Amino acid sequence: MTVIEARGLRKTFGATVALSALDLRVESGRILGLVGPNGAGKTTALNAILGLIPYQGQLKVLGRDPWTERDHLMRDVCFIADVAVLPRWIRVSQALDYVAGVHPRFDRAKAEALLAKTTIARDRKVRELSKGMVAQLHLALVMAIDARLLVLDEPTLGLDILFRKQFYDSLLNDYFDRDRTILVTTHQVDEIQDVLTDVMFIDRGRIVFSSTMEEFESRYVELIVNPENAAAARALAPIHERQVLGRTIFLFDLMTLHNIDRPQLAALGDLRSPGIADLFVALLGNPSTPPQPAAKTGAAK
């Protein structure tokens, strides 16, 4: 089932074009990472998907128009923003009471069970909690709602590495299943690389790269060479290179190499899989290098 489908999605703010003919498709049961530089249109795209802003073009989320059918849509969609939205004066127990009172698909027992894994006391006010605890509380409230789509916009921004790991571990172990779909934006992409099933790069309001993680891992490779092999590796036309501690790291797209395979590359140096951030820098870090979209054979296109 297609959970999100956008065609020619466009949004402007005065003279600023935030989304420009954006095409996007996300299938059910996927965890999609939407990656882009500041101002690329990530948050605008999420706001359109959540029905928070009007737009031009075609957009369906779970088969509904998010702008005109938002009330019905939000029964099946949950959202965690990059800033705390829980009132600072509210107590944890009151937050549980409130969500139980307004959302028909909230499972209070599940929320209590998730909170039992934390050190958050029910009588504490939100303002008395650390940033990590607020994230844990928010996640517990959201994961206790039987939603089909979860949208995360920089959900671990400002959290230390321990809380970030706990956050994504909880998301995978206590929430995600093949009937749910997760859309996440984050600048800490390498941390969640093993979590994602699909990745997209957005730049200047357009999707410029789309791939399943299986395609990503089979198509791209980094070659680390000593100075004496740098010229030979460079002659194979890598899509990017950088220097690290006296060695050169070349990034190759195996689909563009002719009659060259991994064993032949390995003869020149050490092979390893690149991180999402490495490919992002290679494709978008140099304005003179146009993005090279991956083959669109996966679930997210």
Give the tens place of pLDDT for each residue, 143-202.
899 999 999 998 887 778 888 888 888 888 888 887 899 999 988 888 889 999 999 999
Question: According to DSSP H, which parts of 63-178 are helical?
Answer: 70-73, 92-102, 108-115, 131-143, 161-170
Q: What is the mean pLDDT of the chain?
A: 89
Q: Is 32 helix (H, G, I), strand (E, B) or coil?
A: strand
Prediction pTM value: 0.88
What does the CA dihedral 280, 283, 288, 292 come to, rounded to 10 degrees?
-150
DSSP state of 62: T
Give the tens place of pLDDT for each residue, 71-94.
999 999 999 886 667 889 999 999
Burial of 146 (0-12, 13-18, 19+ CB in 10 A): middle
DSSP state of 91: B
Identity (one letter) of the amino acid at 31?
A: I
